[in-house]
A = this chain, B = another copy of it.
Amino acid sequence: MAAAARPRRSAATRAAILAAARDRFAADGYERATIRAIARDAGIDPSMVMRYYGNKAGLFAAASEIEVHAPDLTHVPRDEAAARLVRHFLERWECDETLTAMMRVGVTNEAGAERMRGVFAEQIEPVLAAVCPVPEEAPTRAALVASQILGMALCRYVLHVPPAVGLTHDEVVAWLAPTIQRYLTAEHP
């Protein structure tokens, strides 16, 4: 018991804070998610949040690190790329509420919007550019793809529009994939 005698729980505490922050930001958005509530959820004192993350903005920045993990489409048959993409985002969205948090904050907070633009530019655009016939059209095509995928996520996971919620994964894929496919590879209209 020389070195690790006293349990240093800082790592665990940090993780608990982050998890609670993601929950709260996802559920309430930036303004209504209070440090106090996050600390209560994490079972620690509000001042610990400040100690570890400086301030509320810093906490959000840490809690909203997004890894979209967009699938590599270069080795997918061209006519299956869109379906693969749609299914990926459905599953991604449903297993990680950070995406909902990012949406909630991105809509009401300029820093959040900037973060979403960053995710788009660094994680979405490059993946789609890899399968885009004309490179200089990639940003536009990626924005179109994003508009449809984010729009479905908005209706389904944030606004809870009943007919959008009621669709199965297969139905969403069947409806959206042809759209995405066209945005990806169809001739510029």
Interface: A32 (CB within 8 A) = yes
Q: Which 9 A-B pairs have the closest CB atoms?
A: A151-B151, A31-B31, A29-B108, A143-B163, A174-B189, A139-B163, A147-B151, A143-B164, A147-B152
Interface: A144 (CB within 8 A) = yes
Whole-angstrom distance between the alpha carbons of A28 and B107 in the complex?
9
Taking CB atoms, residues of chain B closer than 8 Å to A144 are 164, 175-176
Q: Are B155 and A107 in contact (CB under 8 A)?
A: no
Interface: A113 (CB within 8 A) = yes
Shortest distance between the CB of A98 and any CB in chain B (Å): 15
Query: What's the dominant secondary structure at chain A's contact region?
Result: helix
- Given A31-B31, A154-B154, A175-B189, 4 more A-B residue pairs with CB atoms under 8 Å apart are A107-B108, A108-B108, A140-B166, A147-B154
Q: Are A159 and B108 in contact (CB under 8 A)?
A: no
Binds B, one of A64-72, A73-81, A177-185: A177-185
Taking CB atoms, residues of chain B closer than 8 Å to A103 are 107
Whole-angstrom distance between the alpha carbons of A154 and B147 in the complex?
7
User: Which residues A70-121 have CB closer than 8 A to chain B?
Assistant: 103-104, 106-108, 113, 116-117, 120
Q: Are A158 and B113 in contact (CB under 8 A)?
A: yes
Pick from B116, B149, B162, B167: contact of A151, CB below 8 A. Answer: B149
Taking CB atoms, residues of chain B closer than 8 Å to A31 are 29, 31-32, 108
